[in-house]
Structure 1
Amino acid sequence: MMQNIAMDDGVEIAVEQSGNPEGPALVLVHALAVDHTVWDLVAAPMRASRRIVAIDIAGHGMSGVRASTTETPQTLDRLADDVEQVVAALGITRADFAGVSIGGMIGQVLGVRNPAWLRSLTLVCTVSDVPDEAQAMWDARIAAVRDQGMDGQVDATLERWFTPAFRDLAPSALDQVAAIIRTTPPEGFIAAAHAIKGLAMGAKLPGVKVPTLVASGAQDVGSPPEAGRAIAAAIPGARFELLDPCGHMGPIEAADPLWKLMDAHLTKLA
C-alpha cells in the first residue's frame, strides 16, 4: 500500500507498507537515483514476519522534490528528519532501519541521533565521509544532470553498480533499474547529490548506540569494502560482512545473502 505523508516543509514523502502489520517494523531507504523497489527482493522473504516500511526519499520515486541549490543545499540531516517524521506519522514506536548507499548515510545520521524508536541499523554499500578530492566529481555529475537530464547517467551508473557477470546474467534486472534512473527527476538527483557532498560522519560514528550490521560489496568501486570495514570499526560492537560477488547494489545483486544476514541480525534482537 502506497501513501503520501506531508513533511513539516510541505514536501510529500511516498511510503509503501507491506508485510505483517503486527510484526516488528523494518524501515528501508534506497540509493541515489532509484526508489524503494530496489529493496523488493530482500523484503519479500521478510514480509511474513515483519512490517515493511519502504520510503522514497525526496525527489525520488513517488515523493515530491525538495528545492536544493549550492547556496542552500538539501542535507542528510533533512533527509533523516523525513524518516523520523514518517515513523512518527505511522505511529511506529520501535523500528529497525536498513539503508543502501545514500540510505546508509541517512542511517548513520539516525544512528548518531539515537532516537528512542531506533532499535538497530543495517548499513549496506555505503561510506561515512566524502573527501575533499571527491567534491569535484560530484559537481561534475550535478552539472551533467542539470545540462543533459538523467539519460546520460544510466550506462555509467549500471557499470559502476553491478559486476560484469551480473550484467550478463540478469539483463532484465538492469533494464528495470535503468528505467527507474531515467524517470528520477533531475532536480531530485541534484538535491540528493548536494546532501551526499556534505557527508562527514566518520568522526561521529562512535556515538552510535544501537546494534549495527555493515555489509559491503566485494566489487563495489564507489563504496569499497574498506569503507564498510571502517564504519564497522568505528561503531561500538558493529559487525561487518562482505557480499561476494556484489557491486554497489547489494539489495539486488546479493539479495539472498543480504536478507539472510539481515534476518539473523534482527532475530538476535527479538
Structure 2
Amino acid sequence: QRLYNRHPKCVEALILSDTAHKIGTAESWNTRIATVERDGIEVIADGIMKVWFTPEFHAKRSAELAGCRNMLTRQALPGYIGTCMAVRDADLTDAARRIAAPTLCIVGDQDGSTPPDLVRSLAGLIPGARFEVIRDAAHIPCIEQPEALVTLIRDFVASLPEGKSAHG
C-alpha cells in the first residue's frame, strides 16, 4: 500500500494479504512495545502464535509452529519495536481510497491480527478491489493454506488486463 502511495506508476497491480489500512490502536501497540522492551519478545510469542495460526495448525503442525515461533522470538528487539511503531503510526485510510491499480485483498477466515471484517473494509476503500477469504487459515495463509493462496493469486494475475501481468 505504501509503495503504491509513494510510487503509483511503479505498481501495476496489488495483492494485499492479511493487512489493513489501520491495524490496532496506538494504545494496544504502545502496550506491546512497553511489554517487549521490559520483558522481551518471548513473553508475547504464544499469544501471537494464537492469532497467527488456527487451532488446527497448532494441533497438527507443531514442528512448523515451533519454527514460526522461533523466527518471531529470535528477531532483534530494536527491529521488532520499530516494526510495531511503524504499524502503530500507519493510517493508510486516505491512501487506500486513491489506489487505482487492480487490487486483490486476501484474508484467512480465522485471522486474529487483521480479521476478515477489517480486510473487507480495506477492500471497500479501494475502488474495484476484489476481496477473498481463505478457509481454514489465520494470519499467514501462505503457510497454512499455500495452495488456496496460490490459486487466488494465479486467478487474479490471469484476470489482469494485457500488459499488467508481464511477469506471470
How does the TM-score come out when normalised to structure 2?
0.89
| Residues in 1 aligned to 2:48 and 2:152: alpha-carbon distance in whole angstroms | 26
Residue 113 of structure 1 corresponds to: 6
Residue 45 of structure 2 corresponds to: 154
- Partner amino acid, structure 2, of 1:200: D
| Residues 53-93 of structure 1: per-residue CA shift (max 9 Å, x gap) | xxxxxxxxxxxxxxxxxxxxxxxxxxxxxxxxxxxxxxxxx
| Residues in 1 aligned to 2:47 and 2:87: alpha-carbon distance in whole angstroms | 18
| Residues in 1 aligned to 2:45 and 2:97: alpha-carbon distance in whole angstroms | 36
- Partner amino acid, structure 1, of 2:21: S
Any stretches of 5+ residues in structure 2 without a counterpart?
none
- Partner amino acid, structure 1, of 2:144: E
| Residues 88-119 of structure 1: per-residue CA shift (max 9 Å, x gap) | xxxxxxxxxxxxxxxxxxxx112233432211
- Partner amino acid, structure 2, of 1:129: K
Residue 17 of structure 2 corresponds to: 124
| Residues in 1 aligned to 2:139 and 2:23: alpha-carbon distance in whole angstroms | 16
C-alpha contact (below 8 Å) 1:114/1:209 kept by paired residues: no
Mapping 1:158-173, distance limit 5 Å? 158-173=49-64
| Residues in 2 aligned to 1:168 and 1:161: alpha-carbon distance in whole angstroms | 14
Identity %: 29
How does the TM-score come out when normalised to structure 1?
0.57
Give SS of 1:123's match. strand
- Partner amino acid, structure 2, of 1:210: A
Give SS of 1:246's match. coil
Any stretches of 5+ residues in structure 1 without a counterpart?
1-107
C-alpha contact (below 8 Å) 2:26/2:89 kept by paired residues: no
Give SS of 1:116's match. helix
Which structure is higher in RCO with an 8 Å CA cutoff and minimum separation 6?
2
Q: Write 1 or 2 for the structure with the bigger share of strand.
A: 1
**How many equivalent residue pairs?**
161
C-alpha contact (below 8 Å) 2:18/2:107 kept by paired residues: yes
Residue 92 of structure 2 corresponds to: 201
Q: Is 2:88 the counterpart of 1:187?
A: no
Mapping 1:71-110, distance limit 5 Å? 108-110=1-3
CA RMSD for the aligned pairs? 1.4
| Residues in 2 aligned to 1:159 and 1:245: alpha-carbon distance in whole angstroms | 14
| Residues in 2 aligned to 1:237 and 1:198: alpha-carbon distance in whole angstroms | 26
C-alpha contact (below 8 Å) 2:23/2:114 kept by paired residues: no
Return structure 1 stretches of 4+ with deviation > 3 angstroms: none
| Residues in 1 aligned to 2:140 and 2:149: alpha-carbon distance in whole angstroms | 11
C-alpha contact (below 8 Å) 1:213/1:240 kept by paired residues: yes
Residue 260 of structure 1 corresponds to: 151
| Residues in 2 aligned to 1:222 and 1:147: alpha-carbon distance in whole angstroms | 23
